[in-house]
Structure 1
Amino acid sequence: MHFHVLTLFPGLFEAALSYGVLGRAREQGRLGFDFTDIRDFSRDRHRTVDDRPFGGGPGMVMQPQVVSDAVDHARAGMPEDAPVIYLSPQGASLDHRKVAELAELPGLTLLCGRYEGIDERALEGRVDQELSVGDYVLSGGEFAALVVIDAVARLQPEVLGEPASAEEDSFVEGLLDCPHYTRPQRFEGREVPEVLLSGDHARIRQWRRQQALGRTWERRPDLLRERGLTSRERDLLTEYIRENGGDALLLRELAVRED
């Protein structure tokens, strides 16, 4: 998959994309990256990219011509069905479903704004989608773009050393992940759950599913309300809630899906 990032700070990305999973996939040619400095498309000798907003107010706004020229440059080198995405707190929320959808595309052009934002006319004329990584404001779109890159890249073939890792992540099945343990078996008085030492893979799978259900119930019940439960999952979650002193009657509000 290929990513083309439009930014005023292309150097910010180099370190982040040189280590770990992304760095390895980049070296192996499984991920491709281009970085365009939006300032290169300024038309004056001062390389100006922003100006005061019409109507007054604080801050500066990125000029439409500079941004439009940068997007046109990037789009010319990308596949036809690679969308231009503007990282914005006003965009649609990025979730696993959206990440999986983007991962099916041949590439993404990611537009990073700065200052008070980008002139609306450039967005209307050049941007296909707006995405938000959360209900908060960052100083610019660069860190949001890195979030999109990392999340989408993990779903690309052979990017992860163990493909099953992505399949078992939080949100893949509408649930949070179960807890994980490694050596030593005893740490600060806390033991690894006995079932994980049993060698009984069927029991381990059931325990992990139950823990994922329970953790989602405790921390993100909204996910369960949206997803619903199979009758088997309802039984597992009921047992979990009772063992942990909760009120299993609250499960009545959740829809039951077919097993």
Structure 2
Amino acid sequence: MSLQILAARALNTSNLKQLGFFKENSQITFIPSQIKDDLNILLDEEAEKKAILERRFDLLKAIFKQKIFENQKVFDFIFQKSFDPQVFDLILQQSFDPHLNKTEAEKIISCIEEEHLLKQINTLDDFDNSLLMLALEVEEIAFAKALLKKKTLLKNILHQNFFKNKTALIIAVEIYSPKLVEKILDAVFENDRIDFLTVKNCLKKSAISIAIDSELEDILKVFIKKVAIESKTKKGDTILHAAAKIGDVNFIHMILDLLCN
């Protein structure tokens, strides 16, 4: 349980009792070790860096979004085992945006020295996900865009997850983000783009077929814009061949319209 969840949903008497924080005399009986760990990170002089190193995106959100926690009195109340209902009411009234904005995302990236950033960006987790793929999976759009600004450092942009066979491009299509799709393709060498578009996930669906099945016309237009019409896959297929194999007439017409213009 993260401190963000605690602050947003649990800081009232009834919920805290259910979580085991209170006895009948309304005093804290214990603080779970996970909460103590969270507090240790947030109270660190370089909290952002510590949260990044421990891959705690939930705490990064807490650091940036929960301004109430900038007031050390909140921590004092917790550690002194005393409560002021007005303070908790104030916390519960805060607006908790679950995602980072552009400024926050760029601040996170700037916290990491470039030599460490190179390693962080290109390290795969235990489930074979790159940092970019993780950001996309949890729809941290601003953070993903901030990563893509460092495209010269992205050595695994073409990475395909071993377990789900997904790529960052497939995930960007699935969450319907045309701008991210474009930025991802911009980070890929032009000669590699057509192959990247036709990589299939474990359901045998490529980024193209997912976009067609979901009728994502904006994304299909990005594909046509970013992939040279004469580009060929390793099997010798162009984007027109790929469209013909899928059998979507509208996508074929979109490509042909581009050729005519």
* TM-score, normalization by structure 1: 0.31
| Structure ranking higher in strand proportion | 1
Question: Which structure is higher in helix share?
Answer: 2
Name the structure, 1 or 2, with higher relative contact order (CA <8 Å, separation 6+): 1
Q: TM-score, normalised by structure 2?
A: 0.30
